[in-house]
Structure 1
């Protein structure tokens, strides 16, 4: 059983922004090679760190301009043991990089906080396997053990919260939520869905959220949806029951393509930013508690600016 959740200051705001598609921006728009789609190795040298700072500053400036809070992610979606091993990093090296990622985010936010912004450093936890496929499935106990090193590194470095992003089956999310609370950190669980609005493992969004809440006594601060176009889950939200109030954020893809189509794509599909912004506004009109707004694959600062304008 997990301890009670910890309050997060950005949830008292009208809207809190976060960034867009980090990896797709770096690869397709900036021409940076990211083996295994991993951004965390950029932390190892000054050029890479400057690229990451430049990327996040665009979004921080949008939030500051509109007087909004910001959830500042670490570039650590791939910084777990399996992906780290593929890239040649030991567990000890990964822990150091996860701590360094938090320190980098803390340094970046300092000027904005000094000017009165609320900026939370968010340790990003990615799936053990592929984000689009529920491979390497674990029990909740196995998942808690697997992800604990990364979560402890975030805690020790002073992160404000963690988010499990692109979760594609509920058991891994359960384990992460309990590992986070065991470490004393608030958690957010973000599920991805297919074009039919269901998780890649087959559960409905309602079932996934209810499983996590039931098995953790409601430990996550809130849930999110990411790495899917709004057209893939708008119908599910229209029929949302009591679980709908647990949704606190959306990070949608720019493209309406399926995961399989995106996996095979060799060019970026930026979608229609104005249409995406209108869809976000419609979601917010129906679910006012959805406050954390950002993007995922194919989105950049221009999409987030459009979303911000539409929702304000």
Structure 2
């Protein structure tokens, strides 16, 4: 198997922070309505853009404070054809909003003047991340995701990041689509309370299948949208684990089904979450990216950064 993955992270700083908990914060803490869990419509208004920029500026400031790198995630996780159509957006509208998202991020990075800031074009699954009704084969997934990736390839991005994926064949299609445009790509799987993907695959099985089908093209893999208690015991000192370089954790120990039904945000314990992610990184020092997903905010991010830097 040929290793032709495309690298995009500089060697230093060795720790990067990233944040994907914005939507739950906007919904539960700021009272915003986000149909389809989509934040990209915020790009259409000055107030919305200011909200989005605020999260990015706060993360950059935290990176400066804690001497860590920062990966900014774009608000385009559901800005693909099917997910956008479900909330009333045409593909031409989505094209503009994908472009606008990365242009805004590029301006934020430029204004910050801080090296070590990465722009990640965030894309998500075609269906429900927790319980996809159908599963695409790799060819179908490649055709679907290549459409959004083609649009994003026209922007000032550094990497394509496929987040909250529930099965390996969709991930294979994403990686192949990114390779069409010679773009670096990261794949992040979500797991349930049993530490397995929602469709039953183990992390080892999913990562091994994607690497085997794509000549190990992905830069690395991550786990997101799960609490450390759900997967930490599944991590082991094996070859596949060396491909896992990022953990973006939920604040809550609730299952995906419980989170979907929640009427109140479970923000967990920020200090405990920071300690747990720091402990995982201590066990696996090659992990380079840490962050917060559902239920987290800058309190959690500061605890994560502080614990990881002092461990």
Candidates 297, 301, 305, aligned match of 2:298: 301
Which range moves more in the overlay, 119-128 or 91-100? 91-100
Counterpart of 1:34 in structure 2 is 34
In 2: Cα distance, 1:144 partner to 1:242 partner: 27
Cα distance, 1:150–1:62 mapped onto 2, change above 3 Å: same
**Kept after mapping to 2: 8 A contact 1:10/1:16:** no
1:278 to 275, 288, 300: 275
Cα deviation, residue 2, structure 1: 9.8
Counterpart of 1:262?
Answer: 259
Report the equivalent of 1:172.
Answer: 170
| 1:142-187 deviations in Å (ceiling 9; x for gaps) | 1011011211111101211010000000000000011011111100
State the Cα distance separating 1:13 from its structure 2 match: 2.6
**Closer, same or farther in 2 for the Cα pair 1:264/1:135, shift >3 Å?**
same
- SS across alignment from 2:248: strand
SS at match of 2:291: strand
d(CA) in 2 for partners of 1:212, 1:240: 19
Name 2:126's counterpart in structure 1: 128
Question: Counterpart in 2 of 1:92?
Answer: 92
> Paired residues, what number?
309
| In structure 2, C-alpha distance between the alignment counterparts of 1:2 and 1:79, rounded to whole Å | 32
CA contact (8 A) 1:64 1:117 kept: no
TM superposition score normalised by structure 1: 0.96
State yes or no: 1:184 paired with 2:198.
no
CA distance in structure 2 between the aligned counterparts of 1:2 and 1:81, rounded to whole angstroms:
33
| Aligned twin of 1:137 | 135
Q: CA deviation at 1:267?
A: 0.5
Where structure 1 has 5 or more consecutive residues not aligned to the other structure, the ranges are none
In structure 2, stretches of 5+ residues that fail to align are: none
Report how far residue 230 of structure 1 moved: 0.2
Asked if the contact 1:247–1:290 (Cα under 8 Å) also holds between the matched residues in 2, the reply is yes
Match of 1:18, SS?
Answer: strand
Structure 1 distance, partners of 2:257, 2:145, is 26
Whole-angstrom CA distance in 1 between matches of 2:117 and 2:263? 34
1:234 is aligned to 2:238: no
1:135: Cα distance to partner?
A: 2.2
Residue of structure 2 aligned with 1:196, choices 187, 194, 198: 194
CA distance in 1: counterparts of 2:270 and 2:11, whole angstroms: 25
Q: Secondary structure at the match of 2:121?
A: strand
Give CA deviations for 1:203-240 in whole Å, capped at 9, x if unaligned.
00100000000000001100000000000001101x34
Does the Cα contact within 8 Å between 2:265 and 2:295 map onto a contact in 1?
yes
Shift of 1:134: 2.5
Separation (CA, whole Å) in 2 of partners of 1:233 and 1:3: 27
Task: Provide the rounded CA distance (Å) in 2 between the counterparts of 1:128 and 1:10.
Answer: 31
3-state DSSP of counterpart to 2:153:
helix
Q: Aligned equivalents of 2:36 and 2:202: distance in 1?
A: 29
Could you tell which deviates more after superposition, 116-125 or 296-305? 116-125
CA distance, structure 2, for counterparts of residue 206 and residue 11 of structure 1: 26
Please give the root-mean-square deviation of Cα atoms over the aligned residues, in Å: 1.4
Secondary structure at the counterpart of residue 51 of structure 1: helix
Deviations, residues 261-304 of structure 1 (Å, cap 9, x unaligned): 11110100000111111111110011111111111100001101
CA distance in 2 between counterparts of 1:284 and 1:177 reads: 26
Instruction: Note if 1:61 corresponds to 2:61.
Output: yes
